[in-house]
Amino acid sequence: MTKRLSIITAAYAPLSDYFDETIRSVMSQELPEGWEFEWLIQEDGESPGLSSKVAALPNVRYSPNRAHTGIAATRNLALTRATGDVVQVLDHDDVLLPGAWQRMLPHFERPDVHWAVGQADDLLSNGERRGYESAIAFGEVPAGLVNTWAIEHEGNWPIHCAGLYLRTELVRAFGGWGGAPVDDDIIMFAALSEVVNGYNESAVTWLYRVHDRQTSKSATWRERSSDGRRIALQRIEAIRAVGLKPTGDLSNLSPGKTVRVGPAAKEAIGGAWWKTGGQS
């Protein structure tokens, strides 16, 4: 049976200087046998301007917010449209290296792997690449290991969350990206990786672009630099206290089910929906 990859990209026109290179890197990928893909581009901002760049691209599903909602909400709106077994996080200024999908997606054929990440080099403004050694061992990563490492290193994670691949239904089960102005990906990943195993791939599969206008260098991000990580650490403590553990075969989760959403009944009858026993 064919499996599907859903790429989630939160885009923003005023900061889209490098989007063309991101597009080229996606369109040049080759899929492993038995896989297909969709690319969910969700554009933030009141004045969308990127649809013309992607309108003719195959397998792209574009949608504008028509409001400035921030990166977490933008990613979550894209997640509502995802029909794939696996979601991949890809920012609109980063670059996939050739063979990335062929290297990463086969990890999800293993029923005990629920997230995966490849190594990333920094892509500097002068075109040079700067590499790093992995802070944790390559191969399968037991549940909770990355969070224990983070606790021991003052709320810094050994996994680059901007390059994650995750089982779609687990992302939904853990609430999607965290509703915070910073580190929404760490907030989600900390909860998910606490209860399921992942995989740390040794190959460099993508480039993380470093430039002056990237979101993580904004004034808001600097001001709130510790808030998102504090939320993530609090989630870990809560999950450990409650003792959450998965049950069943998580590799057989079925995304893409049709969920019907009707009119908002509480608005239709003047906000007194509960008084009718839920009948409108």
What are the structure tokens assigned to 45, written together?
A: 């901002």
**DSSP string for 20-75:** HHHHHHHHT--PPTTEEEEEEEEEEBSS---HHHHTTSTTEEEEE-SB---HHHHH
pLDDT at 279: 55
List domains and CATH numbers for the chain: 3-276 (3.90.550.10)
Tell me the CA distances in angstroms from 30 to 33, 36, 50, 99, one per residue in order. Answer: 9, 10, 25, 7
To 10 degrees, what angle do helices 71-80 and 184-195 make? Answer: 50
Q: Per residue of the chain (280 residues), what is the pLDDT tens digit?
A: 899 999 999 999 999 999 999 999 999 999 999 999 999 999 999 999 999 999 999 999 999 999 999 999 999 999 999 999 999 999 999 999 999 999 999 999 999 999 999 999 999 999 999 999 999 999 999 999 999 999 999 999 999 999 999 999 999 999 999 999 999 999 999 999 999 999 999 999 999 999 887 766 677 767 887 999 999 999 999 999 999 988 878 877 877 667 788 887 766 555 555 555 555 4
Specify the 3-state DSSP secondary structure of 10.
strand
pLDDT of residue 272: 57
Q: Token digits for 91? A: 């920012």
Q: Residue 206: which of 116, 146, 141, 139 has the closest Cα?
A: 116
**Which residue, 193, 124, 182, 128, is CA-closest to 158?**
193
* pTM of this prediction exceeds 0.75: yes
In this prediction, residue 82 carries a pLDDT of 98
Buried b (16+ CB within 10 A) or exposed e, 74-94: bbbbbbeebebbbbbbbbbbb
Distance of alpha carbon 188 from alpha carbon 89, whole angstroms: 12
